[in-house]
């Protein structure tokens, strides 16, 4: 799967997602569960905000000295016996992997969950070359079997109902059991265990690479990562160039932030550290370890307006709170990186022509920023994308520019605003009912209105003839700017 897996227009994608009742309900439920769990474990750490500031500082320090830490990591990894490769982009990364596999005449690989390999489209390249790819993380296994893109970076199979999973397993793998999750999990376990034993190569990602020792780490809630990284004789580890920490002390801080933010747990079920292949006398571990360090657009972000985005530790906390993600789900973004982090990152990797709609998939409420364990100012970066597209690259439609120029004039001038609201009131009177309410279907704002309503930013009482009050509040929320007019404060929710 490439970084962008759905090239259809943004509106087509979100219409489809919004019409999928199961998906919308599943995302809402998951968000609520993750939100509560995260809050509980974060509340256990009174120094959470200090940790958060420290984590952001560590990430900034590494990014500001990335050349140094990449070299230090590579040197130490080679000293520990790994072979380090550098890939400028996705093509180079997949070619390096393919060459290694071909040299070993590999026919089959097992993979643990790694979103970076989805970013570079590794599976497709290997499958085209006739190599059998086996995802071994349960959710990734379901997606691979169903041929479906992920809808979340931590829980990618969120959009599947258990009876649908049973159907897919029955149809494609001959499963004859019930839709009981434990029974289905046992079935998958049996299926992938055989592959672990037969696979020529294990493919893994790396949550954090430790520069001082050349160690790669895998955080996982299933044991598959440990098996994929220790049973096959050859090991490939894909590492995003920015995912480095200087030392184990820094790793400790990052792990504290990652586990609590990602799944609302104090620790993960499994945490593996790999420093080179197995040494003489060790009972298990690979005979050779290759680490492919991938740039793929990251160096272009470094040193610029969006550098803070490279702090991202892929915990998914920003999408677990985002009101837009809640409605359009991961598939609305069409990118393997969905939610607020994806809306910032995808245009940086693919450009505005391909992903220019994504920065608009946000209410700019700032909840993502607040939830981010490394304090990435996500809503400000989304705003910056909009600013660049509107004012510098002029990529937005002319009509939109004219409307917003006029709106800015109106909202910036008390007299014009007053006239506008009066004209609006006349307009609303024309479309309102006898009881002076505006039928929902006539109110403007489309799906955004539903987002505001659902999040409790708006209530139905705002759908009155004084419609501009509703629009005003929505606009204030959407732009993050409080326009000073004479509305009573309690009505600006």
Give the binding site for ligand SF4 (CB under 6 A).
Answer: 261, 312-318, 341, 371-374, 376, 378
Classify 132 as helix, strand or coil. Answer: strand
Q: Least distance to ligand SF4 from the beta carbon of 150, Å?
A: 14
**N-term to C-term CA, the chain:** 42
Backbone torsions φ then ψ of 83, nearest 5 degrees: -105, 125
Comparing CB distances to ligand SF4, the nearer of 213 and 371 is: 371
Q: State the DSSP string of 187-220.
A: HHHHHHHHHHHH-SEEEE--S-EETTTTEEEEEE
Query: Which of 207, 476 has the CB closer to ligand SF4?
Result: 207
Nearer residue to ligand SF4 within complex by CB, 106 or 312: 312
Provide, rounded to whole angstroms, the least separation between the CB of residue 61 and ligand SF4: 16
Choose between 1 and 312: whose C-beta lies nearer to ligand SF4: 312
Instruction: Work out how close the CB of 320 gets to ligand SF4 at its nearest, in angstroms, rounded to a whole number.
Output: 8
Query: Nearer Cβ to ligand SF4, position 16 or 380?
Result: 380
CA 185 to CA 193: how far, in whole Å? 12
Under 8 Å between Cβ of 437 and 467: no
Shortest Cβ 375–ligand SF4 spacing (Å): 8
User: Residue 77 or 116: which CB sits closer to ligand SF4?
Assistant: 116
- Nearer to ligand SF4 by C-beta: 131 or 153? 153
Nearest distance in Å: CB 477, ligand SF4: 21
Q: How far is the CB of 300 from ligand SF4 (least distance, A)?
A: 18
- Phi, psi (degrees; rounded to nearest 5) at 289: -125, 125
CA distance 183 to 418: 64
Instruction: Write out the two tokens for 438.
Output: 């505006």
Shortest reach from residue 42's CB to ligand SF4, in Å: 13
Read off the DSSP letter of residue 361. Answer: S
How far lies 429's CA from each of 319, 327, 415, 464, 469, in Å?
A: 39, 31, 21, 9, 14
Asked if 297 contacts 349 with a C-beta cutoff of 8 angstroms, the reply is yes
Strand 244-245 relative to strand 132-135, pairing = unpaired
């Amino acid at each position: 799967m490439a970084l962008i897996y759905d090239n259809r227009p943004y509106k087509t994608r979100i219409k489809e997602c919004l019409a999928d009742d199961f998906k919308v309900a599943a995302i809402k439920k998951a968000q609520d569960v993750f939100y509560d769990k995260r809050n509980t474990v974060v509340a256990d750490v009174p120094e959470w905000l200090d940790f958060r500031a420290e984590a952001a500082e560590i990430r900034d320090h590494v990014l500001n000295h990335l050349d140094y830490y990449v070299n230090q990591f590579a040197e130490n990894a080679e000293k520990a016996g790994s072979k380090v490769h550098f890939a400028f982009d996705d093509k180079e990364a997949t070619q390096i992997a393919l060459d290694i596999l071909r040299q070993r005449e590999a026919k089959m690989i097992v993979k643990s969950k790694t979103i970076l390999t989805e970013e570079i489209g590794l599976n497709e390249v290997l499958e085209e070359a006739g190599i059998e790819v086996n995802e071994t993380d349960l959710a990734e296994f379901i997606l691979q079997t169903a041929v479906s893109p992920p809808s979340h970076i931590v829980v990618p199979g969120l959009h599947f109902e258990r009876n649908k999973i049973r159907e897919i397993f029955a149809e494609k793998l001959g499963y004859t059991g019930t839709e009981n999750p434990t029974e289905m999990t046992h079935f998958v376990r049996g299926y992938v265990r055989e592959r672990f034993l037969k696979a020529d190569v294990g493919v893994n990602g790396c949550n954090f690479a430790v520069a001082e020792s050349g160690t790669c780490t895998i955080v996982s809630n299933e044991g598959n990562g440990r098996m994929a990284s220790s049973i096959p004789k050859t090991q490939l580890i894909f590492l995003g160039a920015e995912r480095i920490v200087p030392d184990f002390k820094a790793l400790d801080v990052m792990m504290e932030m990652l586990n609590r933010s990602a799944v609302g747990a104090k620790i993960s079920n499994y945490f593996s550290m790999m420093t080179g292949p197995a040494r003489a006398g060790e009972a298990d571990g690979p005979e050779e370890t290759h680490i492919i360090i991938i740039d793929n657009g990251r160096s272009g972000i470094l040193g610029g307006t969006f550098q803070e985005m490279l702090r991202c530790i892929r915990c998914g906390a920003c999408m677990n709170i985002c009101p837009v993600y809640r409605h359009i789900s991961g598939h609305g973004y069409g990118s393997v990186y969905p939610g607020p982090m994806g809306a910032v990152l995808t245009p940086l990797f693919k450009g505005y022509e391909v992903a220019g709609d994504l920065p608009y998939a946000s209410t700019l409420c700032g909840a993502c920023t607040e939830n981010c364990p490394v304090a990435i100012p996500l809503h400000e970066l989304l705003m910056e994308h909009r600013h660049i597209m509107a004012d510098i690259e002029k990529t937005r439609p002319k009509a939109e520019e004219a409307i917003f120029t006029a709106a800015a004039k109106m909202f910036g001038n008390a007299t014009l605003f007053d006239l506008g609201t009066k004209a609006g009131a006349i307009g609303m009177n024309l479309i309102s009912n006898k009881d002076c309410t505006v039928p929902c279907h006539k109110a403007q704002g489309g799906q955004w209105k539903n987002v505001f309503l659902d999040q409790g930013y708006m209530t139905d009482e705002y759908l009155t003839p004084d419609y501009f009050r509703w629009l005003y509040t929505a606009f204030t929320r959407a732009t993050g700017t409080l326009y000073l007019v004479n509305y009573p404060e309690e009505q600006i929710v």
